[in-house]
Amino acid sequence: MRVLILAVSFLFSTLVAEAAHTRVTYPSAVSVEMLGRSMLYSLNYDQVLNDNIAVGAGFGSVSTNFRGTDVDANQTATFVPAYMNYYFMKEAGSPFVTGGVSLILNHASVKGKDTATGGLEIPSSSVMPTFGGGYENRTDNGFLFRIAGYLVAGKSLTPWLGFSFGYGF
């Protein structure tokens, strides 16, 4: 009986334990985002500014197709996403909202084309706003996982998903 009480007490204490505030513990992070702000992939760097706000930037690319077709345009659109995240909770896992822009570095050669992934038409502007929300978890070991839903403002608003895996330090 004593063993059962100890086992139940241990289980209960692990269930109610407060999660560590790991964004402040590991305020810098590098991550790879699949799909997301650059439509296919990007390598990102984030920096926590305070308990609830982090900013970041990255570099990514996606192949393009001729508008309205699946014909490869033999050009790659190169993006630099810059963003800010607002976290609703201080715990290791938190929902967040995000906003930012993706700068298209080679805009002159890819405008009017579609991204091969997602079919987003590259707009006449070299800046594509992005807005969204999601969930992030930074473990006690520094590992980072993030899932986000976005609205990407190309020629029209395109709903999109992103999955990030990385490491905080």
Asked, for residue 65, whether it belongs to a domain, the answer is yes
Is 126 a member of any domain? yes
Structural domain harbouring 57: 21-168
Q: What is the CATH number of the domain that holds 45?
A: 2.40.160.20
**H or E segment at 33?**
strand 28-35
**Domain total in the chain:** 1
Between 144 and 4, whose confidence is greater?
A: 144
Q: What is the mean pLDDT of the chain?
A: 90
The pLDDT tens digits of the residues spanning 148-169 come to 999 999 989 999 999 999 999 9
3-state DSSP percent of the chain in helix, strand and coil, to 5: 15, 55, 30
pLDDT one-digit tens code per residue, 96-155: 999 999 999 999 999 999 999 999 999 999 999 999 999 999 999 999 999 999 999 998
Burial, 76: exposed, middle or buried (Cβ in 10 Å; 0-12, 13-18, 19+)? middle
| 143 inside domain | yes
Asked whether the beta carbons of 95 and 135 are under 8 A apart, the reply is: yes
- Rounded to the nearest 10°, the torsion over CA 94, 54, 62, 104 is 150
Which distant-in-sequence residues (6+ apart) come within 8 Å of 143 by Cβ?
Answer: 165, 166, 167, 168
Q: Is residue 15 part of a domain?
A: no
